[in-house]
Amino acid sequence: MPKVAIAESLSDWEGLLASAGSLSLDDALLGENLEELRTLLDQAKELHALRMHLEGERRAAAQALAQTTEQAKTVASRLRSKLKGVYGPNSSQLIRFGVNPRPLARDDSPPEPLPGIFKKE
């Protein structure tokens, strides 16, 4: 149900309770229905408030996740760039880090990585 419809429904039910509650009828069925509507209205108000609160938290979490994701992408890019510097842009070792090495020119052999920087597996 759209937010406007919820607000309209809550307002409508409050008006109905106010109008029908002022009647001086001794009908037990009417009193029973009024009390049930009053209870349901209170529940609906509580649930609507909870929903609005949770939606606010969801938006804040989504924004924090987007910021964290952007930071992680930047750091990963920096790390891959440094690995290119260690192994060289043509090294086939870059593949295991998710980096495509630059294609070799004809008659080129890949350079060896610097010894002692990383342990060999």
pLDDT in tens, 78-119: 999 999 999 888 888 888 888 988 876 666 666 666 666 666
107 lies in some domain:
no
Question: The whole model's pTM is what?
Answer: 0.59
Residue 44 buriedness (CB in 10 A; 0-12 / 13-18 / 19+): middle
Q: How many domains does the chain have?
A: 1
CA dihedral 9, 11, 13, 16 (to 10 degrees): -140
- Residue 120 within a domain: no
pLDDT over 60 at 121, yes or no: no
Three-class SS of residue 57?
Answer: helix
Range of the domain at 87: 3-97
Structure-block tokens of residue 95: 């593949």
Domain-located, residue 19:
yes
60 located within any domain: yes
- The percentage of residues in the chain with a pLDDT greater than 90, rounded to a whole number, is 47
What six digits make up the tokens of 105?
A: 């020119």
